[in-house]
Amino acid sequence: LLLHSPSVRIGSEGGIRAVTTAMTTHAQAAGVQEQGCRTLFFLALKDDDTFVRIEAAGGVDAVIAAMKNHAESTGVQEEGCAALRQFALDNHDVPFKTWAEKGIWAVLSAMRKLAESARVQEEGCGALVGLAGNNDTNLWKIAAAGGARTVIAAMRKHADMTAVQEQGCRVLRVLTSTDDHNRGKIGQEGGVGALVMAMREHGESAQVQKQGCGALRNLAINSD
């Protein structure tokens, strides 16, 4: 039955290539880019094998290019961040992929440019978790690019949004998982206050509590 599902047929019958070709041909059309990113997100959501087809068809590069070319479009940035998040989740080798660093910069740029969009912040934080990939090099790149500061700013601006708080706590937990320098820096940049605020204001969310506790635990390990 799975072999006959629409998503499988889209991949096997050239649908993915059709989407990436449309995005390349109409690079300046924001509507095409938004829908293209959204389509690739949903296709990647189905199974890991589909992501292999997406990557081979230039889908990852198409999404990053869309985000670069349409920095002012909330729709493109929302769908682009969501797609990168799913690509990272689908791909266990993401730390070793050449597009990981480009993805990190695209996500952080979106979060900073469109700070008012709660969904950009939520999807951006989720993408950063995936792009970190439990890889020290990528963790360092995110931290060096000011990722923690951007996440903390998102948590403060969208203090009432449970989804943003959950994903923000998750990023801070990941960024503080292995590096004493990151722990100290995040503590200095207001990470503790952001985490405590999230846990206090969203006590009904088990995930906010779980991720917040994990991040505070990591910060407590810091020997400074």
Calpha distance 63→81 (Å, rounded): 9
Residue 2 has pLDDT above 60, yes or no: no
Q: Is the pTM of this model over 0.75?
A: yes
pLDDT, position 135: 78
Average pLDDT rounded to a whole number, residues 116-123: 97
Instruction: Give the pLDDT confidence of 143-176 residue by residue, as tens digits.
Output: 999 999 999 999 999 999 999 999 999 999 999 9
pLDDT, position 109: 98
% of the chain exceeding 70 in pLDDT:
93
Whether 175 contacts 132, CB under 8 Å? yes
Range scoring the smallest mean pLDDT among 42-56, 81-95, 112-126, 132-146:
81-95
Closest Cα partner for 126 from 76, 170, 160? 170
Average pLDDT rounded to a whole number, residues 83-90: 87
How far out from the chain centre does Cα 80 lie? 9
Instruction: Give the pLDDT confidence of 38-61 residue by residue, as tens digits.
Output: 999 999 987 778 888 999 999 999
